Amino acid sequence: MRSSSYGWVVVLCAFTLMFLGFGIAYSFAAFFRAFETEFGASRAHVSLVFSLCAFLYFLLGAPGGMLADRYGARRVALAGVALLAAGLAAASGAKSVEVLYATYSIGLGIGIGLTYVPSVGAVQPWFEKHRVLASGIAVSGIGAGNLLAPPLAAWWIDALGWRGAYLALAACTLVLGGAAAAAIRNRPAGQGRASEGLRLGAALRTRNFWALHASLVLSGFGCFVPMVHLGPYAMDAGHPESFAVLLVSLIGLGSLAGRFAIGGIAARFGRIRSLALMYMGMAAMLVLWRASTGVLPLSVMAVGFGVFYGGFVAAFPPVVMDLFGARSIAGIIGSLYTGAGVGTLLGPPLAGAAYDSTGSYGASILGAAALTLTAAFAVLPLRARR
């Protein structure tokens, strides 16, 4: 296979790794009620299981990216797949929420951290003209996982119990994830633009880096509060659990559309302005959520939020490439994603604690919307390097 063609194989491998990792993570909504019931835990404590996981995979994106820049995406991704499967298998035997922290949160957090950023970073240098399209296809694995994994997990929970469902997910991860991790490759440094750009240390000394980092801290609250709490919110409004799981899948459906649509939007408005537009759209959908309790408005909100969320995830790596170049792309992306980890760690547990105290998600949703809107104004002044 010609070297230039292998970039699309890398896109497929990245898609598969993100489909598995984030599909498993976002299927957490299907397990939420089972954990509440079996362990008698509050929503704040159950939410923390997911938030610790997400915090770790964002936090470990930086070392994961640097390891991939040095040793190659293949080796790092193989280690990540092994940890994903081990975390799921260990979580299936949990006897308390605290054990889930030690198994699910840590195993999946480290596993996704070692697969997500290395695979996203591996895609960017293979493309120039079609970089946003390639990035959108790769990260659409997140949306596809978000769409398909929650109903699949709910089906397995009904058939096998939540413990058996985690074992089934572990087996799928080993087979599919192992194959994808074994096939992914970094572009050789001598080809095209793969060796141009800033090193991580130089990027850390720029205003562009810290503006992007701040935008991820702010938007992290808005991104993950609905991923965890939209399902319980719907059940509180009197809807069945099946509809609550469907809403999380609708976010995934919208996310798929957003990841493919962002290429045309970026071509018209520019990548940086398009990123800001995605933040604004997410904030608007959060406001709509606050005003919604019926089936139709909640469904519209879920799809709309997914569209803007998917566009944001697809647009972000190309913006990083525009600003800093390819030399240390995985390490830079990973370091930036630590910002999202902060918002993710705090957002869902704080929303759960607010609900436990007041019986309402209202203030949490509006706060998340305000912070996400502020993220848009953080990135608008950015300018790509020449």
What is the pLDDT confidence band of residue 266, given thresholds at 50, 70 and 90? confident
Which H helix or E strand runs over 212?
helix 207-236
What number is the average pLDDT over the span 228-244?
89
Calculate the alpha carbon distances from 189 to 69, 113, 119, 126, 327 in Å: 10, 23, 16, 10, 8
For residue 381, give the amino acid letter.
Answer: P
Helix runs in 60-130, H state only: 61-71, 73-91, 97-100, 106-113, 116-123
Q: Concatenated DSSP letters for 271-290?
A: HHHHHHHHHHHHHHHHHHHH
129 by DSSP, 3-state: which? coil
**pLDDT interval class at 385 (50, 70, 90):** low
Would you state the structure tokens that stand for residue 62, as one six-digit string? Answer: 């930086």
Quick check: 192 pLDDT over 50? no
Q: What is the pLDDT of residues 152-184, one digit of tens each?
A: 998 999 999 999 999 999 999 999 999 999 999
Residue 201: is its pLDDT beyond 80?
A: yes
* Residue range 29-39, pLDDT digits in tens: 888 888 888 88
Lookup: tokens for 260: 């493919």
**pLDDT above 70: residue 3:** no
Over 70: is that where the pLDDT of 189 sits? no
Angle between helices 106-113 and 43-59 (to 10 degrees): 30
pLDDT at 181 (0 to 100): 93
Residue 197, classed as helix, strand or coil, is strand
Whether residue 386 is predicted with pLDDT greater than 70 in this model: the reply is no
Q: What's the chain's average pLDDT?
A: 86
pLDDT, position 190: 46
Stated pTM of the model: 0.75
* Domains defined along the chain, listed by start: 3-379 (1.20.1250.20)
> Using only C-alpha atoms, what is the Rg of the chain?
19
Q: Which of 292, 170, 169 is nearest to 226 (CA)?
A: 292
Rank 59-63, 239-243, 265-269 by mean pLDDT and report only the highest. Answer: 239-243
Q: By C-alpha distance, which of 167, 189, 164 is closest to 70?
A: 189
Contact present, 303 and 253 (Cβ < 8 Å): yes
What pLDDT score does 210 carry? 93
Q: Residue 265: pLDDT band by 50, 70, 90 thresholds? A: confident
* pLDDT given for residue 384 in this prediction: 61
Q: CA–CA separation, 131 vs 10, rounded Å?
A: 13
Q: Per-residue confidence at 4, pLDDT binned at 50, 70, 90? A: low
Average confidence (pLDDT) over 232-236: 90
Cα separation, 104 vs 94, whole angstroms: 9
